[in-house]
Structure 1
Amino acid sequence: MTWKRWAAVAVLVLLVFVGACAALFRGNTAQRAAIPADQPIYVSVKPGMSASDIGDELVKHGVLENKFSFWWKVKTGDAASHFKSGVYAMKPNMSADEVLRKLVSGDTTVVKFTIPEGFGVKEIAKRLADEGLVDEQDFLAKAKKYAPYDYIERKDDIRYACEGFLFPDTYELHEEATPESILKMMAEDFDTRLTPELRARAREMNLSIFDLITLASLVEKEALYAEDRPIIAQVFFKRLKIGMPLQSDTTLQYLLDAPKEDVSIKDTKIESPYNTYQHRGLPPGPIASPGMAAIKAVLYPANTDYLYFVADRKGHNHYSTNYADHQAIVEQVR
Structure 2
Amino acid sequence: MSNDVEFNEDKPDKPRNIVKKLLTAFITLLLLAAIAAGGLWYYVTGELKPTTASEQEVRIKIEPGSSPAIIAQKLEQNGIIRNNTIFVWYLKWKGIGSKFQAGEYAMNPGITNDQIIEMLNAGQTVKEEMVRVTIPEGYTVRQIADKLAETGQFSAEQFLKIAESTTGQYIADAYRQIPQDSSITHHLEGYLFPETYEFVKGTTEEQVVERMLQELDKKLATIEGLDKQLDKLGVSFHQMMTIASLVEREVVVDKERALVSGVIYNRIKQKMPLQIDATVQYLFDKPKERLFEKDLQIDSPYNTYKIPGIPPGPIGSPSIESIRAALFPEDTKYLFYVTKKDGSKEHLFAETFEGHKKNIEESKKQANK
- 1:173 is paired with a residue whose SS is strand
In 2, Cα distance between equivalents of 1:258 and 1:171: 24
Alignment TM-score, normalising by the size of structure 2:
0.61
Which residue among 335, 342, 348 is the counterpart of 1:318? 348
1:284 aligns to what?
A: 312
The 8 Å contact of residues 190 and 245 in structure 2, kept in 1 or not, is answered as yes
Which residue among 205, 208, 213 is the counterpart of 2:233? 205
Unaligned runs of 5+ in 1: 1-76, 86-102
Which residue among 305, 321, 324 is the counterpart of 1:293? 321
* Partner amino acid, structure 1, of 2:246: L
The answer to whether 1:108 aligns with 2:117 is: no
Displacement of 1:198 after TM fit? 2.2
In 1, Cα distance between equivalents of 2:202 and 2:225: 34
* Partner amino acid, structure 1, of 2:355: D
Which residue among 284, 292, 297 is the counterpart of 1:269? 297
Q: Could you list the structure 1 runs, at least 4 aligned residues long, displaced by more than 3 angstroms after superposition.
A: 103-108
In structure 2, the CA distance between the partners of 1:104 and 1:269, relative to structure 1 (3 Å rule), is: farther
Q: Percent identity?
A: 35
The answer to whether 1:129 aligns with 2:149 is: yes
Displacement of 1:231 after TM fit? 1.0
1:161 aligns to what?
A: 187
In structure 2, the CA distance between the partners of 1:176 and 1:104, relative to structure 1 (3 Å rule), is: farther
Alignment TM-score, normalising by the size of structure 1:
0.67
In 2, Cα distance between equivalents of 1:197 and 1:264: 42
Larger Rg: 2
The 8 Å contact of residues 131 and 151 in structure 2, kept in 1 or not, is answered as no
1:330 aligns to what?
A: 360
Which residue among 131, 139, 142 is the counterpart of 2:159? 139
- 1:139 is paired with a residue whose SS is helix
* Partner amino acid, structure 1, of 2:58: H
Unaligned runs of 5+ in 2: 1-53, 62-105, 109-125, 365-369
The 8 Å contact of residues 138 and 248 in structure 2, kept in 1 or not, is answered as yes
1:227 aligns to what?
A: 255
Displacement of 1:260 after TM fit? 2.7
Note the alpha carbon deviations across 1:113-149, whole angstroms, 9 max, x for none: 2111111101110110012231111111111015643
Displacement of 1:109 after TM fit? 1.9
Note the alpha carbon deviations across 1:283-303, whole angstroms, 9 max, x for none: 010000101100111111112
Q: Would you say how many aligned residue pairs link Structure 1 and Structure 2?
A: 241
- 1:138 is paired with a residue whose SS is helix
The 8 Å contact of residues 153 and 201 in structure 2, kept in 1 or not, is answered as no
RMSD of aligned C-alpha atoms? Answer: 2.3
The answer to whether 1:172 aligns with 2:198 is: yes
Displacement of 1:227 after TM fit? 1.5
The 8 Å contact of residues 129 and 201 in structure 2, kept in 1 or not, is answered as no
In 2, Cα distance between equivalents of 1:204 and 1:328: 34
Note the alpha carbon deviations across 1:21-41, whole angstroms, 9 max, x for none: xxxxxxxxxxxxxxxxxxxxx
- 2:278 is paired with a residue whose SS is helix
